[in-house]
């Protein structure tokens, strides 16, 4: 359980960096992402999840 909490905390830290450092770029990116088709966003989400699972597997088993 501690590991999951640590992972979530690290995700929040990493996700917060762009908002702290360059909020104007985050706003522009948020507006431009609306032009990306849903199919592509789903594919990106799936690939990110797979990459995360592979990374977790490698860290836990190597």
pLDDT at residue number 59:
86
The tokens describing 62, both together, are 């190597």
pLDDT at residue number 1:
76
Residue 48 banded pLDDT, cuts 50, 70, 90: very high
Convert the pLDDT of each residue in 9-34 to its tens digit: 999 999 999 999 999 999 999 999 99
Q: Using a cut of 0.85, tell me whether the model's pTM lies above it.
A: no
The C-alpha atoms of residue 57 and residue 62 are separated, in whole angstroms, by 8
pLDDT at residue number 45:
96
pLDDT at residue number 42:
97
């Amino acid at each position: 359980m501690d590991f999951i909490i640590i992972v979530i905390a690290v995700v929040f830290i990493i996700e917060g960096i762009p908002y702290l450092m360059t909020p104007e770029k985050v706003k522009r990116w948020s507006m431009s992402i609306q032009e990306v088709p849903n199919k592509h966003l789903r594919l990106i989400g799936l690939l990110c999840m797979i990459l995360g699972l592979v990374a977790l597997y490698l860290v836990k088993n190597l």
